[in-house]
Chain A
Amino acid sequence: MQLSRDELKRAYQRMFTIRAFEERVEKEFAAGNIPGFAHVYLGQEASGVGICHDLTDEDLIGSTHRGHGHCIAKGCDVKGMMLEIMGKAGGLCGGKGGSMHIADLSKGMLGANAIVGGAPPIAVGAALTQKYKKTGRVSVAFSGDGASNQGTVFEAMNMAVVLKVPAIFAFENNGYGEHTAASYSVGGGSIADRARSFGMPAEVVDGVDFFAVHDAMGRALEHCRAGNGPYALEIRCYRFLGHFVGDPQAYRTADELKEARANDPLPLFRKKVTEAKLLEAAELDAIEKAILAEVEDAAQTAIAAPPPDLKSLEKDVYARY
């Protein structure tokens, strides 16, 4: 725990922002204010924030269909996100992307990706740019346990090793690919072993513990920035909700969910930093209060915002056509 007080506050601020944002998404979805699907990141906050904590805006991430948490962890604007998710003018992508395609290149966020296994090849390309231009930056490919079974991900891992690019494969194993357990679908059981077999170092990380994720990411960054090629992390975490908001989840027991909820990354973080007297409870409470107000404002703004101009329908397909 060699993080400064300010850094700890920032980490908690980001984790709690994800929590508050996603709970609000759940609520607004139920209220009919969010069209389409919403896949929320509740329960996985320590993973995204632990991975992104030491990244700059020039470092890149490629995300998944469950990407809101990665966006927030990478510093995307919460109001812009809420506008986007509600399909409104002023959204981060002008309302053309939606929940599964939020991107903010100015923050190094190369897009949520609705294709399972879609982002890792792209992240390898982003890493190739860093190597070619000698920027010292890295590229992170977030994937789930589901994506770890996609051929594209195998190709991306092999290519990253062959080309020796600074790519970090962050596999968030939240126990479920859609409605099927990873214990069923991941043959052999270990995603880290798969990554290792391609010839890169890989670690299994406790994804409930921000500090464990942050420490492991520190080793990954050091490895990549030293020009040693890619690195993989299998982050064991848990998806508090179903595959999407509204998933009845008949495929898992109430006991399982209860046990998972008892192992929550946010109270764990609070406990660690307050017991070590790094931050006071009142400071954390103040962070929470401010974020709840920010999310409230984002939601109200987005609900009240106009839809995109119909004239935007045919714009921005090409740079020039």
Chain B
Amino acid sequence: MAKKSYRTAINDALRSEMRRNPDIIILGEDVAGGQGATGDVGVVGSVFGVLGGLYKEFGPTRVIDTPISESAIVGAAAGAALTGLRPVAEIMFVDFVGVCFDQIYNQAAKFRYMFGGKAKTPMIIRATIGAGFRAGAQHSQSMHPLFTMVPGLKVVMPSNAYDAKGLMIEALRGDDPVIYLEAKTLYDTEVEVPDEAYRIPFGEARVAREGKDITLVAFGPMVPRALAVAEAVGKDGISAEVIDPRTTSPLDEDTILESVEKTGRLVLVDESPPRCSLASDVAAIVADKGFKSLKAPIKSVTCPHTPVPFAPVLEDEYMPNPRRIEAAVRAVMKFD
């Protein structure tokens, strides 16, 4: 099986599903690129190149460049979904969600419930997340807790290319609004990815590494970091299990609780400010439903309660980094 990048895996999923289902359209800023300009159209394919070649294959009726108008992009996607299309809207950086959040949480997420179950809103909002790009406070956030707390939305955080493809296909075949969060730092990472289509159900966590002494639950781009720390502490005889929930809504509570039942120890790794984060959410769930399993307090490794800083030394410290994750693991292991 060929290795493919995270970027190519998402492209593969969109391309094959668009071939299969003519109701899928893409809209957003520079999803083609070059409209109205003097050179070629379709040469951008989204700012990180995820949509490369799609304009060429599907043309301007299906790969639709829009003005820089996030409310209109998301709102149009919601209206198109409500009337029979399956739009894939792009918010270039998730930080821009502030200007269009109404259309997400008040409109698209609520249609089905408010309308008594008579509506379906099959749409996907793709957005890039994460720090580490030296992009400053307004291009580096993750925001996944914000979406996770909204009833009516599903939230997907792929941590590798294989999952990225299967989760995208699952999103494209479902009937609910999905927030699909792409980690910028993972775009060039590669794993083996089948050419054919496959689905990964939402709400089914992946046990990324088996272990018996301590459980690490990590989200999206934090999964590779948790795995690296698990390898490192393994050299000292600590057997760490790493769980990748893949989706934060729905959340696979059972796999997490089963793992903690086995290990008795839990560290959460979440690239988010600490309050009302996935880390605090999962900690609360385990404290509530898995209290008897715990041999030590739950520790969370998150970002501090600050905006994302620009200076590289500050940003590196801001993100949950291997040093901080390893310190948390060792502290939990030492607890008696």
Q: Which residues of A contact B (CB under 8 A)?
A: 60, 62, 91-97, 101, 103-106, 110-111, 113, 115, 118, 120-130, 132-133, 139, 151-152, 155-156, 158-159, 162-163, 315-321
Given contacts A125-B78, A158-B72, contact A101 B61 (CB under 8 A): no
Taking a contact as CB atoms under 8 Å apart, the answer to whether B113 and A118 are in contact is no
B51 interface hit (Cβ, 8 Å): no
B210 interface hit (Cβ, 8 Å): no
Taking a contact as CB atoms under 8 Å apart, the answer to whether A151 and B75 are in contact is no
Taking a contact as CB atoms under 8 Å apart, the answer to whether B106 and A115 are in contact is yes
Given contacts A132-B85, A318-B176, A319-B175, contact A92 B79 (CB under 8 A): no
- What are 18 A-B pairs at a CB distance below 8 A? A62-B79, A93-B114, A95-B116, A96-B115, A103-B118, A111-B115, A122-B107, A124-B79, A126-B79, A126-B82, A126-B83, A129-B83, A132-B61, A132-B80, A159-B67, A318-B112, A319-B122, A319-B174
Given contacts A96-B116, A318-B176, A319-B120, contact A105 B82 (CB under 8 A): yes
Interface string of B106-134 (1 = CB under 8 A from A): 11000111111111101000000000000
**Shortest 7 CB-CB contacts between residues of A and residues of B:** A121-B75, A125-B79, A316-B117, A94-B116, A93-B116, A319-B175, A122-B79
Contacts of A320 in B (CB 8 A): 174-176
B154 interface hit (Cβ, 8 Å): yes
**Residue on A nearest B120 in the bound complex, by CB:** A319
Contacts of A128 in B (CB 8 A): 25, 76, 79-80, 85
Contacts of A93 in B (CB 8 A): 114-116, 118
Taking a contact as CB atoms under 8 Å apart, the answer to whether B117 and A139 are in contact is no
Taking a contact as CB atoms under 8 Å apart, the answer to whether A129 and B71 are in contact is no
Most buried by B among A95, A115, A133, A317: A317
Taking a contact as CB atoms under 8 Å apart, the answer to whether A96 and B72 are in contact is no
Contacts of A126 in B (CB 8 A): 79-80, 82-83
Contacts of A118 in B (CB 8 A): 75, 102-103, 106-107
Q: Knowing that A115-B102, A163-B66 are A-B contacts, what are 15 other residue pairs whose CB atoms are under 8 Å apart, sorted by A's residue number? A: A91-B116, A93-B115, A97-B114, A105-B115, A113-B107, A118-B106, A121-B72, A125-B83, A128-B25, A130-B83, A152-B102, A319-B176, A320-B176, A321-B176, A321-B203
Contacts of A121 in B (CB 8 A): 71-72, 74-76, 78-79, 103
**Residue on A nearest B85 in the bound complex, by CB:** A129
Contacts of A151 in B (CB 8 A): 71, 99
Given contacts A125-B78, A129-B83, A129-B84, contact A315 B117 (CB under 8 A): yes
A266 to chain B, nearest CB (A): 31
A187 to chain B, nearest CB (A): 20
Taking a contact as CB atoms under 8 Å apart, the answer to whether B78 and A316 are in contact is no
B152 interface hit (Cβ, 8 Å): yes
B87 interface hit (Cβ, 8 Å): yes
Of the residues B66, B77, B87, B114, contact of A162 by C-beta under 8 Å: B66
Taking a contact as CB atoms under 8 Å apart, the answer to whether B114 and A101 are in contact is yes
Contacts of B250 in A (CB 8 A): 321
Taking a contact as CB atoms under 8 Å apart, the answer to whether A103 and B115 are in contact is yes
Measured in the bound complex, the distance between the Cα atoms of B116 and A321 in whole Å is: 17
B81 interface hit (Cβ, 8 Å): yes
Measured in the bound complex, the distance between the Cα atoms of B42 and A39 in whole Å is: 47
Of the residues A123, A132, A316, contact of B25 by C-beta under 8 Å: A132
Measured in the bound complex, the distance between the Cα atoms of B99 and A159 in whole Å is: 16
